[in-house]
Structure formats: C-alpha cells, structure tokens
Amino acid sequence: MRLKVNYLASTPNYMSGDPDLQFLLKGGDLLKVKSRSWRKTRFFRLNDDCKTMWQQTSKTFKSDSGFSLEDIDSVRYGRQTEGLRKYTDLSVEDRCFSIIFKSRRKNVDLIASSKEEAKRWVSGLEKVITGMHNLNRQQNTEHWIYNCMHKADKNADNKMSLKELKHFLRQINIEVDDSYAEMLFKKCDRSKSGTLEGSEIKHFYDLLTYREEIDVIYAKYASTNGQMSSGDLLDFLQYEQREPVSSEYVQKLIEKYEVDEIAKQNKYMSKDGFLMYMNHEEGSIFNPAHKGIYQDMRQPLNHYFISSSHNTYLMEDQLKGPSSTEAYIKALMKSCRCVELDCWDGANGEPVIYHGHTLTSKVLFKDVIKAIKEYAFKVSESFTVTSQYPVILSLENHCSVEQQKIMAHHLTSILGSALLTQPLGYQMPTTFPGPEELKGRFLIKGKRLNKLDATFNNNTTEDEDSVSEEDEAAELKEAEQKPKEKSSNKIKLAKELSDMVIYCKSVHFSTFEHSRDNHNFYEMASFKESKAMNLAENSATAYIHHNMDKLSRIYPAGSRTDSSNYNPVPLWNAGCQIVALNFQTPCKEMELNEARFLPNGKCGYMLKPEFQRDPASQFDPKNLSVGPWLQKKILHVMIISAQQLPKINKDKQKSIVDPLVKVEIYGVPADNASKQTHHIDNNGFNPTWNTDFQFTVHVPELALVRFVVEDYDAASHNDLVGLYTLPFTSMQNGYRHVPLLTKRGSLIPSAGLFVHIMALDG
C-alpha cells in the first residue's frame, strides 16, 4: 500500500501510534562511554523525520551531533563491543547497548539507567530501522519527498509559500528557473491564497512525481478500456519482460500490488498498481529467483568461489592502523567465509593478532576467536542474516610452540564441536566435502606436520620439508619492509595446532606439474597477487585445472600499505577460489567482490561454472575457442531515467547534481567494456537520457555488469553519486529499476535508475 502521509507532517504512518516509536521520539538521558574516565550523560532522541537521531548535552540542550539511522549497521544489546568490555564492569552488562555504524565511524557505546530501558532503546531502534528497510522503493520516495517538504516548511505552518517551494526544489536536487517555479506554484494554488496547503500540496506532489516513461509503457499494454487486464499484463510480462510466466502468476501479482479494490476484483491492474509492481523486487534488475540459495551446495568445496578477506583484523591501513575484533565482525556480517589471523607471541603468555613489524595495534587471539564464534553463523542480528556455510580460519603463524599450544586451547575451548578436527566419514577422503556438509563448521588453514591419513593410522611422523606458505607470505612482506634482515622459513609447530588442520594444509607452490604429482587435494598454496596474475595471464588453462583439484588463496602485495586492492576478476577467470581482499577499503574491487557474491543468498559461496569444474575443459579466458563457455550474447542497455539522486555537496544549498551514467562489463578480456551517457545539467531529481548501448558478451557466466552514476565536473574528477553491480546471469530482461548504493555498499533508499535490458543470443 502507498504511504498515507500528511505531506507537511513530521511522522510517517508506517509506525504511527507505536509505543516504541513514541519512546524514541520522546528520548532520554544515556551515559556515553569512551574510556574508563570519559563517561558523560547525553540526551538522545529520534528526530521527527524518524530517520535521524539527535544527540544533545542534557544541561544546555545545545546540539552536539547526530546521525542517520540509514548509517546504522546494527544495534547490539549488552557489552558486545571492545570498548564496553574494556571500560565497563560485568555488573552493568544488562544496561549496556551499542550502536554500530556501516562506515568507519566509531561505535557509540551507551549505558541506560535500567535493563528495561536499555532493551527498550534496542528494540525500538531495531523496529524503526527494520521498518525503514522494509519500505518499497515507492514508499521510500514518498518518505524522502515529504521529509524534504517538512524541512522546506521553515515556519512550520503546514503550508508552502513560493519561497519555500523554491527551497524545496533545491532540497530534492533540481534547479529550475523562477518562472517555472512560479508557473508550478500557480497551477497548484487553486485557492489563490498565495500558499499551498492540503489537497494543493497533494496536487503539487503528483505533478512532481509523475513518471511519463511509466505512463507510456502502461498505455502501450493497457488495451482493455484504458486498463491493464490480467491478459494485458501477461502479454507485457511475456513479450516485454521475457518472463515465462502463467496466468496464475499474473493474478498473484494483481492481488499483491493492486491498490484499487475494484480493479483487483475485476482482475485489472491500474496505473498505480503497475507502478507499485515496477518498484518491487519483481520489477528490479536483479532476478529475485537468485535472492535465496539456488545453487547445488553439495559439490566439493574447491568447486566454489569463496568470499575471502586479507588481514581481516585491520580497520584501516597496513602500517599504523588499529587492529580490532570489530573488523572480523563486519567481514563476517558481509558473509565473508575466509578470514585471516596473523598470530604472534604476546605478553602474559597470550598470543596476539596484528600486522607484524608494524605499528598496527594488537588484539588478543582469544578475543578474536570469541568474536568469530559469536558472529560467523549469527541469525538473530537485527535486519541481517549471516551465512550458515563454513568459515575458514587462515592462520599466519609466527608464535612459539608454547603460545601455539595456547592458540590450540582457545580454538578448542571457544569453538567447541563447531571446530572440524577430523575428516568427515570413516576413511581417508579423496576430495573435499561440500558447503552443505560443512554447515556451521570452522576449518583451520595452516601448516600440518604430517599427511592427513595420519588421522586414520595414528602416524605422527613430522614432515620436515613442509613449508607453510602463510609463513613464506609473511616473510615476503617482512622482506619488503626490512630488506636487510634474513629470516628462516622454518618454524617449529605444536602438534596440538597441527592436528587441527584438516582440509586446508598450507604448502609451497613450485609448478603445476609438481603440485599435481606431489600434493594431495587438501594441500593448498597461497599466491601473492603478482605471481597469481602472471599465472592467470600466461598459464590460465593449467591454473584452472589446478583449481579443479585443489584450493588456491590469493593475497594482496605487501606494498599495498594503504590497504588498496587488486582486481579479483582475472583470478576468478582462472578458477581461483579464495581471492582475498582488504574488506575495510571501499573501492571498485570490493564492489566487484560484493557483486560476485550477491546471488545465492549472499552466502559467501558461488558455484563455479561447469567449464571451470570439468576435467575435460580446455577453457582459456584469453583465447576463446569453441566450447561450452562460449554462449555469446548481444546485450542491449537503454538508460532511460534516474530518480531522486542524492546531493553530493550538501553544504552548498544551490549545488545541484549534473548526472551521467556509465555502464561497465567485467569478465574475460574480450568482454571488458565501458560506455557512458552525456551529462544532464542541474537535475538530480528526474533526469532523462533515453540512451542506447550495445555490448557483446562472450562468456556471460563470468561477466559482471556495473552501473555507475557520477556528478559531471568539467574542471576536476567526477564525483560518485551511486552505483550497482551484479552478475550478468542474475540480470532480468525488460524494463527494470536499478537500485543505487553508496561507495561503502549501503542502499540509497529513494534513488535509482530506470533501464531497459535485452540480452539476445549472438
């Protein structure tokens, strides 16, 4: 249903009257904690727009700072952050809660006056945030526009003057000349009172949000007395959207989205109902059939791309930034399924995690394992569900034998039965189990003293020649930082830790032939990006076959001290599974990673194409011969329009976006391409392009499609407005809405592109 709003009122109706909402709107004092000594009372309340929080000092009521609910990642009850655990006592556990942000903004740690009050804050915030997330695109638009109207109503008289209307138009990112604004105002001011109120504001809203392109599409198919019958809608879905659907499906759509009861009874879809349908997931560019788990999850583990993080403990750069359990939590909540632990001897016999030989801060190994245990498979987090598929703990081990034993103890005591310490089954395996069989389990990746069959025949002979590639990788990084130092590539290994390595034994890579002849399926190598890129470029087919039998992990060069990332696409093209990236860095490479793992329930595992799993395959990404990988498509993309693009320079009231749209393809070298529209001056609210692009895509199963909206600047680099990337094979044909995300991957609620997509056989 559409939001029923008073367009100059302050509270949207999706929660009006809710006691939790009223509690938040009233607000109250909370104790803000930054350290043992810094504890100050602050007044918090939800603003009337129900989208932002206001933080004030309780004595002076002077505004201190605020934040948007859209920036909140989660709200955690209890002492669930490093800060609260460090600076508060167990006695206040049930009065504590924390607000966690999506960006690098620091957590807000708070103590309420009672357990009941703390729970009320947590449940209230979760309810409002969930309500915001559940709004459809049309409701988000209405909520956003009425909020801008409310801000423009400077004297709060629930009326809109011509001056306020001009201010409102700038708020919504559209620049119009005075004569147009006056014409619009006079057209709506039917009472000739000099202000707009009530139904006049509704009329103004309808004029403003009119979508001519939707009208044209609707009129083309509404052939039954100007209405779209169920038969007309079926024609639209089958011929325009290329969806093989039935009459029963059409009827369900009408029941679900039609807002007019009479039309619903007559099995018609009105224009409003059609717009409602287009703004929901069925009208999205992303195929809703790919939203949940849809792939076979019982294939061997090495047959999947696995979402993987490098130096997971770091929040910022590689030299002096903080190490934190929070970095692990954020990566796991993004369904990262392979995290890295860089382990060193710490004080008081407790191993620590940090980037060795640098000024990065240290975090206790046991605290990291506790955080991983808590969040790896979490299902109760508000508005987030974590993958249930296995998590690989990649150990970069620099500890003494004594502290390795402490590591083994913490892994066993904290992870318990979830830690895999034996191969599945009763005999020596010849291949990996699948993600489904390993649900809820932790796998340790690291050095092992002997072969895996020792777990069945009690063979405890140490393999003196084995070298942990993780150790070698660390030495390479140390060598880059301290070139004069020479270190041994051998470390002594505690049997207790060694025995935990089951399916991911680290070994040194020499050649593909050597690996094939000497290494078992569970023995895996790690490759520095330059080595991996060289193999992918010059020996791709051999690399692909290597990855049909074994796992490969790729990590960024040690020279990337700013935590930048390499392009993961060439490594996926070569079948590499664990392509580890710096998750803390928002960049194009991380956008591509998030797009690769967007389908299949965002579970962190994507089944590789058959031609990367079939031993008979001769697929080479660089030299495309005839084979099952060659499924040539001609992709037609029309960029029609955009809606409610955010202002980039919010500090300047008169700064309006000049948008342009880029469409980019990432895949095998022959498919990489980029095209862009012209820019449109001074219109971020409803710009229209109607620009056609055509791309040839040879290997669609490996291709990603990226939409980027930029604010054109003739004098300097264009600013990012929003973006969206998805796999080619998860894209729907026809007229589709494209959601837009920030550079950190957060949804921009009211913004989007409207496009027409058609992928035809080439």
**pLDDT tens, residue by residue, 492-526:** 899 999 999 999 999 999 999 999 999 999 999 99
Q: Out of 11-20, 63-72, 494-503, which region has the weakest mean confidence (pLDDT)? A: 11-20
Residue 11 resides in a domain? no
407 shares a domain with 266: no
| Annotated binding-site residue? 373 | no
pLDDT at 472: 40
222 shares a domain with 181: no
pLDDT at 341: 96
| Annotated binding-site residue? 305 | no
Residue 475 resides in a domain? yes
pLDDT at 651: 58
Residue 627 resides in a domain? no
Residue 89 resides in a domain? yes
Rounded Cα distance, 120 and 125, in Å:
8
Express the helix, strand and coil content of the chain in percent, nearest 5 each. Answer: 35, 25, 40
Q: What is the DSSP string of 60-84?
A: T--EEEEEEGGGEEEEEESS-SHHH
Higher pLDDT among residues 175 and 123, named by residue: 123
| Annotated binding-site residue? 54 | yes
Q: What CATH number corresponds to the domain at position 579?
A: 3.20.20.190
Residue 56 has pLDDT above 80, yes or no: no
Q: Where does a domain end: 106, 134, 162? A: 134
| Annotated binding-site residue? 37 | yes
316 shares a domain with 262: no
| Annotated binding-site residue? 732 | no
| Annotated binding-site residue? 35 | yes
| Annotated binding-site residue? 584 | no
| Annotated binding-site residue? 342 | yes
Rounded Cα distance, 762 and 753, in Å:
26
pLDDT at 98: 95
Q: Rounded mean pLDDT of the chain?
A: 88
Residue 2 has pLDDT above 80, yes or no: no
Nearest to 394, CA basis, from 579, 226, 214: 579
| Annotated binding-site residue? 404 | no
487 shares a domain with 423: yes
370 shares a domain with 516: yes
Percent of the chain beyond pLDDT 70? 89
Each residue's pLDDT tens digit, 240-282 = 999 999 999 999 999 999 988 999 999 999 998 999 899 889 9
Residue 552 resides in a domain? yes
28 shares a domain with 119: yes
Q: Out of 42-51, 142-151, 327-336, 708-717, which region has the weakest mean confidence (pLDDT)? A: 142-151
Own/partner pairs for 204-207, CB < 8 Å, 24+ apart? 204/160, 204/165, 205/7, 205/145
Rounded Cα distance, 411 and 667, in Å:
39
Active-site residues: which are they? 310, 355
Rounded Cα distance, 689 and 258, in Å:
29
The count of structural domains within the chain is 5
Give Cβ neighbours of residue 722 (< 8 Å, ≥ 6 apart): 645, 646, 708, 709, 740, 741, 742, 748, 751
| Annotated binding-site residue? 370 | no
310 shares a domain with 279: no
Position 383 confidence tier, pLDDT thresholds 50, 70, 90: very low
C-beta neighbour count of 708 within 10 angstroms: 21
End-to-end CA distance of the chain: 42
Are the CB atoms for 457 and 404 separated by under 8 Å? no
pLDDT at 76: 92
Residue 683 resides in a domain? yes
| Annotated binding-site residue? 38 | yes
553 shares a domain with 422: yes
148 shares a domain with 123: no
Are the CB atoms for 405 and 497 separated by under 8 Å? yes
Distances (CA, A) of 703 to 603, 624, 634: 19, 14, 13
Domain that holds residue 745: 633-761
Q: What CATH number corresponds to the domain at position 54?
A: 2.30.29.30
Residue 413 has pLDDT above 80, yes or no: yes
Rounded Cα distance, 532 and 249, in Å:
48
Residue 296 resides in a domain? no
| Annotated binding-site residue? 171 | no
| Annotated binding-site residue? 699 | no
Give Cβ neighbours of residue 659 (< 8 Å, ≥ 6 apart): 642, 645, 679, 680, 683, 684, 687, 709, 710, 711, 712, 721
Tokens 């459809």 found at? 136
Q: Where does a domain end: 548, 577, 612? A: 612
| Annotated binding-site residue? 656 | yes
506 shares a domain with 386: yes
| Annotated binding-site residue? 42 | yes
Q: Where does a domain end: 134, 168, 198? A: 134
549 backbone dihedrals φ, ψ, rounded to 5°: -105, -30
Q: What CATH number corresponds to the domain at position 750?
A: 2.60.40.150
Rounded Cα distance, 343 and 362, in Å:
10
| Annotated binding-site residue? 49 | yes
Residue 641 has pLDDT above 90, yes or no: yes
- Per-residue burial over 627-666, b = 16 or more CB atoms within 10 Å of its CB, e = otherwise: eebeeebebebebbbbbbbbbbeeeeeebbbbbbbbbbbb
Residue 294 resides in a domain? no
Residue 470 has pLDDT above 50, yes or no: no
Rounded Cα distance, 665 and 394, in Å:
32
Each residue's pLDDT tens digit, 573-604 = 999 999 999 998 999 999 999 999 999 999 99
| Annotated binding-site residue? 611 | no
Residue 13 has pLDDT above 90, yes or no: no
| Annotated binding-site residue? 41 | yes
Give Cβ neighbours of residue 410 (< 8 Å, ≥ 6 apart): 365, 366, 369
Q: What CATH number corresponds to the domain at position 246?
A: 1.10.238.10
| Annotated binding-site residue? 56 | yes
648 shares a domain with 600: no
| Annotated binding-site residue? 57 | yes
Supply the pTM of this predicted model.
Answer: 0.86
338 shares a domain with 243: no
